[in-house]
Structure 1
Amino acid sequence: MLSIQCLSAARARGTSLIEVLVTIVILAFGLLGVAGLQSKIGVAEMESYQRAQALLALSQMTERLSANTAQAASYVTAGTVGTGDAQPTDCSGIAAGPNHDLCEWSNALKGASEQRSGANAGGMVGARGCVTQLQAPNPALGVCTAGVYQVAVAWQGMVATATPALACGTGLYGASDGFRRTIAATVSVGTTSCY
């Protein structure tokens, strides 16, 4: 009877060690999963922040365009405004109007509203803006069509996704436009002679 107890006690010591090793392996896989989830959360948070900044910049320009309907056509840009443009960092020397608004919008897109160690830190990565005219206003009697303008903001995302349909910033974000994010709003500007 004594020999049976010794044999089962020896087996029990070995199984405890195996249970501990299996627990450590399971815990290690769980920690790897948590680390992967944490990195994805960081990317999603950055994407969300950049989209919020883009919405603010888009709203700012649509409000400026809507407030200056008489000169709406002067807001149309040949290229992009923001990262890589030739707008000055100080817009105080530019007279009030579309050029001044575009200068301030350019600086907002570049993140000039927040500085850190002398560098812009308040914007999106590679932010650019475009204003295009979709329909010219026609004040002719009997026609009276409003001018329609599209304000778009493009920026660089953290991971590649589907290529956006909007053309703003095309080809400026690497070999593939999968990193380019865009958002746009349409502004309709009525003609005063039709009222």
Structure 2
Amino acid sequence: MLMKRPAFLAFGAVRMPTARMRRRRAAGGFAMIEVLVTLVILVFGLLGLAGISARINAAEMESYQRVQALLLLQDMADRLNANRKVADCYSNATTGVQVGVGYTGTPACTNPTGNAQGNAQQNAQAVSDLSLWDAALKGSAEVNGTKIGAMIGAVGCVIRLDPTASGLAAADVVYLVTVSWQGLTPTAAPVTAAGRPGPCGKGLYGNEALHRIVTTTIQIGTLTP
């Protein structure tokens, strides 16, 4: 049997691609495009997941800070309620007291007027309460050195409200306790009620839209025989 010899192209001749070769090249090109499109979609998906994760972390941090602020607010409200005889020591009468981040002084009961009729032991207790509150606001509750104490830029204020400006009766003795801190996402600047002083911590955080506060009021009754 005679074997058919393969045909050889002349030197310098160009072999034209067959239809099968063209189809293979086209299929390979489309596959490469599909891979690139898939990679682009995957990258955008990962970026979206990263953005969602960042928002979730920020929301969790905001929630954690608010919970800590409410605990610190209730802590001072309980301390003041338990030592009502010298309530003015907690606010330095009508001057107001601000402790926490940025405060470097030592709390003192230097102006016990109004309803502050207690004894030296009660005055000392008020000073101790303010000192402990100041330390808690600065994060003294940290565990094993990890920074999980209070909020960012935590500040606490105790103010005795002016009855006339606040629309209260002249005999009313009302204290405004506030805890202030810095949030992570801009929202809206805090607004106080008419006749009350500006919000605790105002101007400490740059953008007031990052300023967060929680407040409570404590009224000290005036007992008559």
TM-score by length of 2: 0.70
Instruction: Tell me the equivalent position of 2:44.
Output: 29
Question: Kindly tell me: are residues 120 and 76 of structure 1, through their superposed partners in 2, closer, same or farther at Cα, counting changes over 3 Å?
Answer: farther
What RMSD over aligned residues (CA atoms) do the two structures have, in Å? 2.7
Partners of 1:79 and 1:130 within 8 A in 2: yes
Decide which of 85, 96, 106 is 2:103's aligned counterpart. 85
Q: Which amino acid aligns with 1:123?
A: A
CA offsets per residue over residues 47-101 of structure 1, 9 Å max, x none? 2221111111001001111112222222115341111213459xxxx96422111
- Which is richer in strand? 1
Decide which of 35, 48, 53 is 1:38's aligned counterpart. 53
1:1-195 counterparts in 2 under 5 A?
6-77=21-92, 78-87=96-105, 96-114=124-142, 116-117=144-145, 121-134=148-161, 145-166=171-192, 167-174=199-206, 176-193=207-224
Alignment size in residue pairs: 180
Structure 1 residue 161 displacement after superposition: 2.4
Structure 1 residue 186 displacement after superposition: 1.4
Segments ≥4 residues shifted beyond 6 Å: none
Q: % of aligned pairs identical?
A: 44
Partners of 1:71 and 1:98 within 8 A in 2: yes
Question: Kindly tell me: are residues 114 and 56 of structure 1, through their superposed partners in 2, closer, same or farther at Cα, counting changes over 3 Å?
Answer: same
Question: Kindly tell me: are residues 121 and 76 of structure 1, through their superposed partners in 2, closer, same or farther at Cα, counting changes over 3 Å?
Answer: same
Structure 2: any 5+ residue segments left out of the alignment? 1-17, 108-121, 164-168, 193-198
CA offsets per residue over residues 10-63 of structure 1, 9 Å max, x none? 322221211111111000000011111222222222222211111110010011
Q: Aligned partners of 2:27, 2:179: CA distance in 1, in Å?
A: 67
Q: Aligned partners of 2:172, 2:82: CA distance in 1, in Å?
A: 15
| 3-state SS of paired residue (1:75) | helix
| 3-state SS of paired residue (1:132) | strand
Q: Aligned partners of 1:171, 1:98: CA distance in 2, in Å?
A: 28
TM-score by length of 1: 0.79
Q: Aligned partners of 1:86, 1:20: CA distance in 2, in Å?
A: 61
Structure 1 residue 163 displacement after superposition: 0.9
| 3-state SS of paired residue (1:60) | helix
Say which one has the larger Rg: 2
